[in-house]
């Protein structure tokens, strides 16, 4: 029998990853992170012919600054080369530190792209889909991730509890970032709000913004 914590967190995971889509495009743009399975998935889509180029974007984040001595994009590039992707098909962007920069910097490096697939970790699909219209409004885009399930398939780099912390922070950002111009507005369903409140009350606040706790829908 699962705990209330896992039940609430599964709701968030399913919701945050629910906009997964992909199709043929001019480029695969990868928002790098601690989860190298995203790199592997990008290589699979490349080798399936969905796009002729992969752009890996990412410097170091909250987690990866503690596990790698090089930018995420370089780690992902090495993984792609091991996977058999030719170096000529890889672009590396190693300055971005958030989703907005991932997308904005990719836009600068792909001036002729007419469509793109954005890849990210599963629990970030919604946030990326809400960020693209702000940072690259002209691009027809889909957002995808590896088809992973919570809690059994979360990254062992951060573990189940780390991912719950991350998702609680992501829901807060979905609520607050539109007012800051970082994402387009999005209305959360009541069951997602309730799950978020329950996890905040349970103490999963380590990834929240450094200010007073916000309340979805308030």
pLDDT computed for residue 217 by the predictor? 40
Kindly report the backbone phi and psi dihedral angles of residue 40, in degrees, each rounded to the nearest multiple of 5, phi listed first: -60, -40
| 204 strand-pairing partners | none
Q: Give residues with Cβ within 8 angstroms of 81, minimum separation 6.
A: 87, 90
Q: Where are the alpha helices (DSSP H) in the chain?
A: 4-16, 37-47, 72-83, 99-109, 125-135, 159-180, 190-201
Q: Give residues with Cβ within 8 angstroms of 85, minimum separation 6.
A: 43, 46, 47, 54
CA atoms within 13 A on the CB side of 62: 11
pLDDT computed for residue 140 by the predictor? 95
| Helix H or strand E encompassing 160 | helix 159-180
Contact 178, 58 (CB under 8 A): no
pLDDT computed for residue 214 by the predictor? 46
56: three-class secondary structure by DSSP: strand
State which fold the 18-144 domain adopts: Rossmann fold (3.40.50)
pLDDT computed for residue 212 by the predictor? 55
Tell me the pLDDT of the chain (218 aa) as tens digits.
Answer: 789 999 999 999 999 999 899 999 999 999 999 999 999 999 999 999 999 999 999 999 888 989 999 999 999 999 999 999 999 999 999 999 999 999 999 999 999 999 999 999 999 999 999 999 999 999 999 999 999 999 999 999 999 999 999 999 999 999 999 999 999 999 999 999 999 999 999 999 999 998 754 444 43
Bond before 151 cis per omega within 30 degrees: yes
Tell me how many degrees the CA angle 210-211-212 measures, rounded to the nearest 5. Answer: 140
**CA distances for 109 relative to 15, 91, 104, angstroms:** 31, 8, 9
Q: Where are the domains of the chain?
A: 4-14+150-201, 18-144
pLDDT computed for residue 61 by the predictor? 83
pTM: 0.94
Q: Counting runs of H as helices and runs of E as strands, what totals does the chain give?
A: 7, 5
Supply the DSSP symbol for 89: G
Decide the pairing of beta strands 116-119 and 28-31: parallel
């Amino acid at each position: 029998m699962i705990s209330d914590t896992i039940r609430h967190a599964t709701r968030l995971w399913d919701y945050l990853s629910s906009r997964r889509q992909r199709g043929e495009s001019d480029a695969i743009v990868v928002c790098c992170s601690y989860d190298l399975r995203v790199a592997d998935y990008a290589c699979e889509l490349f080798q399936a012919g969905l796009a002729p180029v992969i752009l890996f974007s990412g410097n170091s984040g909250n987690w990866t600054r503690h596990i790698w001595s090089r930018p995420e994009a370089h780690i992902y590039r090495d993984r792609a080369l091991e996977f058999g992707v030719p170096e000529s098909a890889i672009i590396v962007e190693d300055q971005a530190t958030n989703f907005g920069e991932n997308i904005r910097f990719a836009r600068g490096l792909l001036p002729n792209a007419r469509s793109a697939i954005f890849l990210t970790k599963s629990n970030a699909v919604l946030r990326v889909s809400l960020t693209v219209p702000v940072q690259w409004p002209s691009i027809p885009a889909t957002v995808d991730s590896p088809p992973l399930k919570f809690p059994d398939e979360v990254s062992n780099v951060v573990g189940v509890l780390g991912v719950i912390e991350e998702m609680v922070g992501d829901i807060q950002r979905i609520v607050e970032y539109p007012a800051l111009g970082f994402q387009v507005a999005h209305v959360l369903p009541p069951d997602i709000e309730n799950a978020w409140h329950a996890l905040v009350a349970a103490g999963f606040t380590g990834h929240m913004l450094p200010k007073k706790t916000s309340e979805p829908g308030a």
